[in-house]
Amino acid sequence: MKKILVATDASEYSRQALKSALELARKFHSEVELLFVMYKPRAYAVNLLEEDVNWLEQIEQEGELAIQATLEGIDITDVTVIKKIVQGKPANMILREIENENIDLVVMGSHGYGAIAGAILGSVSQSVLHGAKCSVLIAK
């Protein structure tokens, strides 16, 4: 197991997923990729170039804040942590990253919605769990 992907939304669930991933990374000498996906629905997309540039800056800023919030107070010594910020639908982008980076394990937080609410909400973790070609660990 060489590469572990942790998808973050800066929640406490994501922080718990990162802690679990770091523990595994230390045991297996793996690197951890911390991924933040910024979702911008098409309905809100603006075609003006200046506003698109501002949107890209906003993605970068919000992504940096989310990654900082996820990492705050967590010891990452002795583990290579790669930080990435991308834009798109979270489940699709996570699945693409798994494929592109040859990820061996995905560790994600669960928001604890349960099966019925999860089905209604279209849970990102459920989509990744069913679509990933590698193992997926859902941390609580």
CATH superfamily label, 3-139:
HUPs (3.40.50.620)
Give the other-Cβ count within 10 Å of 90's Cβ: 19
Domain ranges (residues) in the chain: 3-139
Q: Is the pTM of this model over 0.95?
A: no
pLDDT in tens, 43-101: 444 554 555 557 677 778 888 999 999 999 999 999 999 999 998 899 999 999 999 99
